[in-house]
Amino acid sequence: MRIVALAGGIGAGKFLRGLASNVPPEQVTVIVNTADDMVINGLHVSPDLDSVTYWLGDVMDRDRGWGRRDETFRAMEELRRFDEDFAWFNLGDLDLATHLLRTRLLAEGVPLSHVAARIAERFGIVPRILPASDDPVTTRVTVVSMGRELDLHFQEYWVRRHAQDEVRAIRYEGATQARPAPGVLESIADAEAIIICPSNPVASVGPILAIRGVREALEERRDVVVGVSPIVGGAPLAGMADKLMPVVGLEVSALGAALVYEGLLAGWVVDEADRGLAPKIEEIVGVRVVVTDTIMRNDEVAAALARSALDLLGRTR
Amino acid sequence: MRIVALAGGIGAGKFLRGLASNVPPEQVTVIVNTADDMVINGLHVSPDLDSVTYWLGDVMDRDRGWGRRDETFRAMEELRRFDEDFAWFNLGDLDLATHLLRTRLLAEGVPLSHVAARIAERFGIVPRILPASDDPVTTRVTVVSMGRELDLHFQEYWVRRHAQDEVRAIRYEGATQARPAPGVLESIADAEAIIICPSNPVASVGPILAIRGVREALEERRDVVVGVSPIVGGAPLAGMADKLMPVVGLEVSALGAALVYEGLLAGWVVDEADRGLAPKIEEIVGVRVVVTDTIMRNDEVAAALARSALDLLGRTR
């Protein structure tokens, strides 16, 4: 069964571990958001690609969520001694190796998709990990801070300023010019199931959909697309999606998240906490909804959740 | 007493610790070779600047000679797992912070001399550390390997290939176009003593002299210039100067090293091992020679050596 997953960071990483244990992993293609990528202190950092890679490669720090297990932070602690301002995006010493490799290869002209494959190979990952695009796409956030409008990189808004600013607008810079990475449209066209992971719909999945041709390709495959709500009981499980969804006119709920994907979905998976919303979502979004435990405390829950998503797809046909 | 020192890496670092303990450190300006600098894995590395900085900042690893004390190598060990070929230039985790800072600031357009000052400040260094130039100067080595001519960056020849290749030629790429960094010519013109540290005359001091105007500025100050031989008993104390000196027609000896600086020197300090050469050097090079212990086993020997160099200068006048 050829499966495509659209993925952001940590939530996707957890979910994908469950998915890859349910199906032959070589049948899985993961299309990953790159709009959080940034160059910081000279290094090209790809937070979502790395989260997915580290989770699938079983080298993630499960408690912290991001980064590598058994990590140390000597380089960044030392950089902080030079300048506090340069160390707001924390990178572990092991993690730095990934960024050094990526930065070097990109500078040599290797496309990001090849770099991602090479990094995945190092961790023995069988599913195919594809950046959504080899071209630059960047989520920019317009905020108001002390009466002034600021245009921030998503990571500056999110990590550096802790999503404290009032957000006026979000845009995916470069998305309409970006070409999907080789294999993205092909794998979508060829998939027997397409899963939208429980990722931030605005910050993580939104940029993927904004890339030229991706939304259209998914629309054509609507009958095999199922999504997992990242919103449980009116709040995101992780991250700060609640800050961004209202900016684009979305209610912070399992319904609001489903509406991002209106016209793209056959099925939608919501948490037990949102059982009451299920009929309304079915009616408004026009999808089949299944209710299950979506709080991925461990790999077993993630595996059951992935199974529910795939089963739902079976039942929608 | 305003003192200028021309410096390469480790030998210079040891010597400068001795010098800075002999004179008011705020009177010392160190002009450092940058022709070993390279961009590797996206990072701008300045080996000689860092050696001088770490030695003067008392954070060097005295046994290893290069890099920081209490260092770990987690990032590079991990990078080596990606690709052995990417990790030939070993950078410690603490050391990485220096390269991240430098890479970032250079990318922002900050001149290398400002970056060097900022790094020196972090380590509480009082002497002024100046790169010889803010413009790129690169030592390139033409070697013959298995019948083929290769054009290598100095570090590729030296560190990656362990100086095993037969060297045909050495050139300082960019040197004649490079402008001395702000303060270089001024400090030379203004110095009461100028010391050429015991550094590789071809790989470390040669590139400094090749920068536009530096040799001429030194010639005018010949009466206050004293050098310390990096060659003891016909071999370099550290490094592989013996491989490079013959390429430019120099005998690997305290005499050969002095000849590099012919026309620039008032005095020359040689080791006890080379006492026999002293009269010949005085005659051929036309300098006053002093014989002393130049093997800098510890700060005390380095301090005595620096004192001998300054005293010699006093006696030449």
Q: What is the CATH number of the domain that holds B241?
A: 3.40.50.10680
In a domain, A317, yes or no: no
Distance set, CA B255 to CA B219, B231, B264, B270, B305 (Å): 19, 9, 14, 9, 18
Based on the domain organization, do B73 and B41 belong to the same domain?
A: yes
Helix, strand, or coil (residue A127): coil
Backbone angles phi, psi at B269, to 5 degrees: -105, 125
Taking only residues 48 to 77 of chain A, the set having a beta carbon closer than 8 angstroms to any beta carbon of chain B reads: 72, 74-76
Which of A173, A199, A228 is the C-terminal boundary of a domain?
A173
pLDDT at position A308 is 96
Residue (of A207, A216, A133, A136) closest to A172 by Cα position: A207
Based on the domain organization, do A90 and A203 belong to the same domain?
A: yes
pLDDT at position A38 is 96
**Opening angle at CA B239, ends B233 and B245, nearest 5:** 65
Q: Can you say how many angstroms the Cα of residue B306 is from the centroid of all Cα atoms in its chain?
A: 16
Based on the domain organization, do B264 and B243 belong to the same domain?
A: yes
Based on the domain organization, do B108 and B227 belong to the same domain?
A: yes
Which parts of chain B sit beneath pLDDT 50? none
Give the nearest chain A residue to B103 (CA atoms): A42
Residue (of A236, A160, A159, A164) closest to A205 by Cα position: A236
* CA pair distance A5, B284, nearest whole angstrom: 77
Which parts of chain A sit beneath pLDDT 70? 316-317
CB-side neighbour CA atoms (13 Å) of B3? 27
CA distance B94 to chain A (A): 5
For B291, the token pair is 């014989």
pLDDT at position B316 is 61
Based on the domain organization, do B163 and B290 belong to the same domain?
A: no
* CA pair distance A202, A199, nearest whole angstrom: 9
Residue span of the structural domain in which B145 resides: 138-173
In a domain, A189, yes or no: yes
Based on the domain organization, do B93 and B108 belong to the same domain?
A: yes
Look at chain B and report how many structural domains it folds into.
2
pLDDT at position A39 is 96
Which ipTM score applies to this complex? 0.89
CA distance A34 to chain B (A): 20
The pTM (predicted TM-score) of the whole model is 0.92
8 A C-beta contact, residue A241 and residue A202 = yes
Based on the domain organization, do A255 and A109 belong to the same domain?
A: yes
Nearest to B42 among A86, A100, A122 (CB): A100
Backbone angles phi, psi at B242, to 5 degrees: -60, -20
Q: Which residues contact A25 (CB under 8 A, 6 or more apart)?
A: A126, A127
In a domain, B317, yes or no: no
Q: How many CB atoms lie within 10 A of CB A273?
A: 17
In a domain, A57, yes or no: yes
Based on the domain organization, do B42 and B116 belong to the same domain?
A: yes
Q: What is the DSSP annotation of B132-167?
A: SBSS--EEEEEEEETTEEEEEEHHIIIIISTT-SEE
Based on the domain organization, do B112 and B40 belong to the same domain?
A: yes
Q: Which residues contact A244 (CB under 8 A, 6 or more apart)?
A: A167, A170, A200, A202, A203
Based on the domain organization, do B272 and B187 belong to the same domain?
A: yes
Are B97 and A81 in contact (CB < 8 Å)? yes
Based on the domain organization, do B157 and B262 belong to the same domain?
A: no
* CA pair distance B222, B194, nearest whole angstrom: 9
8 A C-beta contact, residue A240 and residue A48 = no
For an interface test with A, give the residue of B90, B104, B108 to mutate (most A CBs within 10 A).
Answer: B104
A202-234 confidence digits (pLDDT tens)? 999 999 999 999 999 999 999 999 999 999 998
Task: List the beta strands (DSSP E) in B52-165.
Answer: 128-131, 138-145, 148-153
Q: How many CB atoms lie within 10 A of CB B169?
A: 12
Taking only residues 81 to 110 of chain B, the set having a beta carbon closer than 8 angstroms to any beta carbon of chain A reads: 81-83, 86, 93-94, 96-98, 100-101, 103-104, 107
Give the nearest chain B residue to A123 (CA atoms): B82
For an interface test with B, give the residue of A69, A70, A93 to mutate (most B CBs within 10 A).
Answer: A93
* CA pair distance A247, A202, nearest whole angstrom: 9
Based on the domain organization, do B213 and B262 belong to the same domain?
A: yes
* CA pair distance A57, A13, nearest whole angstrom: 10
Residues of A in contact with B44 (CB under 8 A): 42
Residue whose token pair is 């290749």: B165
Backbone angles phi, psi at B237, to 5 degrees: -70, -35
Number of H helices, E strands in chain B: 13, 14
pLDDT at position A274 is 96
